[in-house]
Amino acid sequence: MQSEKNKLTGQDALQRLLDGNKRFITGKLEHPNHCEESRRGLVSGQDPIAVVLTCADSRVPPVDVFDQGLGDIFVVRVAGNIINDQILGSIEYAVDHLHTPLVMVMGHSSCGAVTAVAQGVKLSGHIASLTPSIDAALKKTKGLEGHWANNAAKVLAITTAKKIAESEPIVADLVKEGRVLVVASYYDLETGEVTLLEE
Asked whether residue 5 carries a pLDDT value surpassing 80, the answer given is no
Task: Identify which has the larger pLDDT, 114 or 38.
Answer: 114
CA atoms within 13 A on the CB side of 138: 17
Cβ within 8 Å of residue 133, ≥6 positions away = 80, 82, 83, 156, 159, 160
15-33: average pLDDT: 95
Residues 193, 169: Cα–Cα separation, whole Å? 33
The pLDDT tens digits for 163-181 are 999 999 999 999 999 999 9
Neighbours of 93 (CB within 10 A): 15
Angle in degrees, CA 199, 164, 159, rounded to 5: 35
Asked whether residue 118 carries a pLDDT value surpassing 70, the answer given is yes
Residue 60: domain span: 2-197
User: CATH number of the domain that 140 lies in?
Assistant: 3.40.1050.10
The pLDDT tens digits for 67-85 are 999 999 999 999 999 999 9
Query: Under a CB-based contact definition with an 8 Å cutoff, are residues 147 and 68 in contact?
Result: no
Domain count for the chain, please give it. 1
Which helix H or strand E contains 195, and what residues bound it?
Answer: strand 194-197
